[in-house]
């Protein structure tokens, strides 16, 4: 290896994201390893990182880390700042680059950045520090199908070369970064599944997983962190989990595992256990440092239930496990603001995954139905109209057709349609708001 080899910095905050990167590396998406120094830059973005589970404590992390020359802790590098809030002032960015080049032994080597969520920190901060570096973005879940959360500075947008993503909804094209003509590129299914198998093998002696498997569960319930995000109250989220359990019991499952989200606060009451006892269901809580996919690999469930977790689609796409949703209607009503980045993942799951409580049987959704792409593009436009102005005509046409079917109110808030002057809103109020906005724009 040369004295100053070309360096690739892979920024990661979740094991699922690290698995996505590992699969892309194994599939040759980042070229040959020879002559390249690869750094895994680990960030803990939890609200209170000191109390959250560290990525390097997750089962299977060590296997992933072998693909890199070294791992660096981003939280330590910028201490005492928080990864989600710290970004260098423009005039300080060159100084910070010198600091990191010295601390990480980069010398004068060219640096390539591979980051997640480029619209927010820490990815945005890294792109600002290494201002001359190329940028590649990878998406580790359903959010790749939604629009970019915020408009990017042109100094960053012009450097993004591609978007790597998993084929979680075959046939659906990501909206993320589409406004900058960034081409999406699939991480091969076979490579990702092989990495998941590798991670599961690392859990071979995990006591908690062995105990869960001994219960011979046939269904897995996926918790999320909706209360922590302020979407539901803690009691409402707990009731959501109870509904999942009752739905699984009604479908005939007598041994069920509950898997809390890795970043969700540790808050349990007796409600879920009481519901299990009342339903005659054996309940096991699997709250160890494991991916849900490790459970799929080891226990082969016949049902996975969630609200709108990415792990639901992983179960169906990579393991052919039937899936079902619970509570998406409630979350659709509560989700604010309209441009909340969870809206497209929620819309996708609500549209393609059967509702467990409505009598629909669980299913493996398969390829995206013809109705999904126009729906996602219309929701995406309503979320970020400034970033996707060319989607307005087709969105208006889609909404006019939807009005005739009486389904617009499920995915589109009337207030939002009014604000944008689209079918389904109050036309007169929308026109008035539009005139006021144009007047303000003219004055500025």
Is 80 exceeded by the pLDDT of residue 4?
no
Give pLDDT, residue 266: 61
Do the Cβ atoms of 307 and 385 come closer than 8 Å? no
Longest alpha-carbon distance in the chain: 69
Distance CA 157, CA 146 (A): 17
Distance CA 251, CA 242 (A): 14
In degrees rounded to 5, what are phi and psi of residue 111?
-120, 135
Q: 11 by DSSP, 3-state: which? A: strand
Burial of 215 from C-beta contacts in 10 A (0-12 / 13-18 / 19+): middle
Distance CA 16, CA 138 (A): 11
Name the more confident of 51 and 196: 196
Give pLDDT, residue 267: 61
Using pLDDT thresholds of 50, 70 and 90, give the confidence band for residue 216: very high
Do the Cβ atoms of 188 and 165 come closer than 8 Å? no
Which of 2-6, 68-72, 358-362 shows the lowest mean pLDDT across its residues? 2-6
Query: Hey, what domains does the chain have and what are their CATH numbers?
Result: 6-191 (3.40.50), 209-354 (3.40.50.1980), 372-443 (no CATH)
Q: 192 by DSSP, 3-state: which? A: helix
Give pLDDT, residue 163: 98
For the entire predicted model, the pTM comes to 0.93
Using pLDDT thresholds of 50, 70 and 90, give the confidence band for residue 434: low
For residue 256, the surrounding DSSP H or E stretch is strand 255-259
Give pLDDT, residue 2: 47
Give the ranges where 320-425 is alpha helix by DSSP (H).
328-334, 343-352, 372-383, 392-405, 408-411, 414-420
Which of 83-97, 154-168, 249-263, 312-326 shows the lowest mean pLDDT across its residues? 249-263
CA-atom Rg of the chain in angstroms? 23
Query: Which percentage of the chain shows pLDDT scores above 70?
Result: 93
Burial of 162 from C-beta contacts in 10 A (0-12 / 13-18 / 19+): middle
Mean pLDDT of 24-28: 98
Is 80 exceeded by the pLDDT of residue 442?
no
Mean pLDDT of 5-30: 96
Close Cβ partners of 438 (under 8 Å, ≥ 6 residues apart): none
Distance CA 197, CA 141 (A): 18
Retrieve residue 339's tokens: 């441009």
Distance CA 180, CA 157 (A): 7
Distance CA 85, CA 45 (A): 9
Give pLDDT, residue 51: 78
Close Cβ partners of 3 (under 8 Å, ≥ 6 residues apart): 107
Distance CA 368, CA 351 (A): 10
Using pLDDT thresholds of 50, 70 and 90, give the confidence band for residue 438: very low
């Amino acid at each position: 290896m040369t004295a100053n080899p070309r360096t690739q910095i892979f920024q990661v905050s979740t094991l699922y994201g690290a698995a996505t990167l590992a699969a892309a590396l194994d599939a040759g998406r980042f070229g040959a390893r020879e002559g390249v120094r690869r750094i895994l830059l680990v960030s803990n973005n939890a609200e209170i990182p000191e109390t959250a589970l560290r990525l390097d404590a997750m089962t299977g992390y060590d296997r992933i880390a072998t693909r890199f020359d070294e791992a660096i802790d981003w939280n330590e590098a910028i201490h005492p700042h928080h990864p989600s809030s710290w970004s260098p002032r423009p005039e300080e960015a060159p100084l910070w680059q010198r600091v990191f080049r010295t601390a990480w032994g980069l010398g004068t080597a060219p640096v390539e950045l591979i980051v997640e969520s480029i619209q927010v920190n820490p990815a945005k901060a890294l792109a600002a520090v290494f201002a001359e570096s190329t940028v590649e973005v990878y998406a580790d879940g359903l959010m790749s199908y939604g629009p970019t959360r915020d408009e990017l500075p042109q100094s960053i947008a012009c450097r993004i070369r591609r978007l790597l993503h998993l084929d979680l909804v075959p046939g659906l094209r990501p909206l993320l970064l589409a406004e900058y003509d960034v081409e999406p590129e699939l991480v091969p299914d076979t490579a990702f599944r092989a990495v998941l198998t590798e991670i599961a093998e690392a859990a071979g002696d995990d006591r908690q997983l062995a105990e869960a498997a001994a219960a011979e569960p046939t269904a897995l319930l996926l918790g999320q962190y909706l209360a922590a995000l302020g979407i539901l109250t803690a009691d409402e989220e707990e009731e959501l989990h109870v509904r999942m359990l009752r739905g699984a019991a009604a479908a005939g499952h007598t041994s069920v595992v509950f898997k809390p989200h890795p970043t969700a606060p540790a808050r349990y009451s007796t409600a879920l256990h009481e519901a299990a006892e009342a339903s005659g269901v054996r309940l096991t809580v699997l709250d160890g440092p494991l991916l849900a996919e490790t459970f799929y690999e080891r226990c082969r469930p016949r049902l996975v239930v969630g609200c709108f977790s990415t792990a639901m689609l992983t179960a169906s796409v990579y393991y052919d496990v039937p899936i079902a949703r619970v509570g998406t209607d409630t979350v659709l009503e509560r989700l604010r603001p309209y441009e909340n980045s969870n809206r497209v993942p929620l819309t996708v799951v609500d549209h393609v995954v059967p509702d467990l409580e409505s009598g629909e049987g669980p299913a493996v959704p398969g390829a995206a139905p013809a109705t999904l792409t126009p729906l996602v593009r219309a929701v995406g436009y309503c979320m970020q109209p400034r970033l996707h102005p060319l989607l307005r005509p087709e969105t208006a046409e889609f909404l006019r057709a939807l009005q005739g079917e009486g389904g617009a109110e499920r995915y589109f808030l009337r207030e939002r349609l009014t604000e944008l002057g689209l079918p389904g809103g109050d036309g007169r109020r929308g026109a008035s708001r539009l005139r006021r906005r144009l007047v303000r724009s003219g004055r500025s």
